[in-house]
Amino acid sequence: MSADEFEGFPGTAVSLLKGGVGKSTIALNIADRLAARGHETVLLDLDKDGHMTTQLGYNDAYDRDANLGDALIDGEDPEDLLIETDFGVHLLPSSNDLENVETRLKDERFADVKLRRNVVEPLMQNGYDYVIIDAAGGRGKLSDNALIAVQRVIIPLIPRAGSINGLNKMIERQISPIRQNIGLDILAVTPNMIRETMGQHNEHRTLVENLNREFGSFVPDYARVEPEIFDALDDSSHNVDSIPKPGIRERTAISRAFKQGMPVSEFDEDCDQIPNFDHLADLVEDHSHA
């Protein structure tokens, strides 16, 4: 593979090399915002646990014989696997056979481009506009395939110990090696599930502040806080007119919507976090057609 050989297809992966950071929720809501703009959007669940697929209510699809592996390795038409959701997004479900698919990929030639060539490219040729991939939670062939297929990634981090370290490890162990062969853009590193105030020292502020200080160019607009603001918050002689509320904030509407198998816009169209998902969708649009 060479950087000149590939150009990313429209879309993004949502990925981090660990679970529990809200990848599925963010992927779902980005896909929803793109679909709301009239784009034919595929939401591809590449997580072996099928969290997205089952949470949206498609347990039968997760357990069925015909599955993603048939398209990924055996060349079956991926469009035959798509499910039309009630909210206008086309779901390509995960499968309880993905663990076996991961194993089979290790013996395949050109294993890292199987998703690109056998799934994403045919979908683009059939008229779909974007593919949003909920990537597998650990390093492996499926995770690499997700990044290589669209050559863009959005990385969510939550306020817990080791988050920045996890980001650095992903860059070192996965993103940098892939970049030796093809282009791969980090569209955003977004703080997620932020709850606490930035006016006090806590894990929530620590995450947001460290991201802004160390990875500022990757922080989306809704999470951006100038370092001077943090300095002023810690200086009793300065008054800050308005304490910022950066990041995707923890909202009951977001979690309840996902539990009920829908994006937050379907559950509460007035949720104040929808503009943040719209901004991520803007990044996908802008960078897919740059």
Count of structural domains within the chain? 1
Domain membership of residue 285 (yes or no) is no
Domain membership of residue 126 (yes or no) is yes
Domain membership of residue 5 (yes or no) is no
Domain membership of residue 85 (yes or no) is yes
| 10-residue averages of pLDDT along the chain (290 residues) | 63 93 97 98 95 95 90 93 97 94 90 96 97 92 96 97 94 96 97 90 94 96 92 74 88 97 98 98 91
Domain membership of residue 216 (yes or no) is yes
Q: What is the C-alpha end-to-end distance of the chain, expressed in Å?
A: 22
Domain membership of residue 289 (yes or no) is no
Per-residue model confidence (pLDDT) at position 198: 86
Per-residue model confidence (pLDDT) at position 53: 96
Per-residue model confidence (pLDDT) at position 241: 61
Q: Taken in order 77, 80, 84, 85, is the CA torsion positive or negative?
A: negative
Per-residue model confidence (pLDDT) at position 136: 85
- Domain with residue 179: its CATH number is 3.40.50.300
Q: pTM score, two decimals?
A: 0.94
Phi, psi dihedrals of residue 266, rounded to the nearest 5°: -80, -25
Domain membership of residue 286 (yes or no) is no
43-88 pLDDT tens trace: 999 998 999 999 999 999 999 888 898 999 988 999 999 999 999 9
Host domain of residue 146: 11-280
Domain membership of residue 37 (yes or no) is yes
3 state DSSP class of 208 = helix
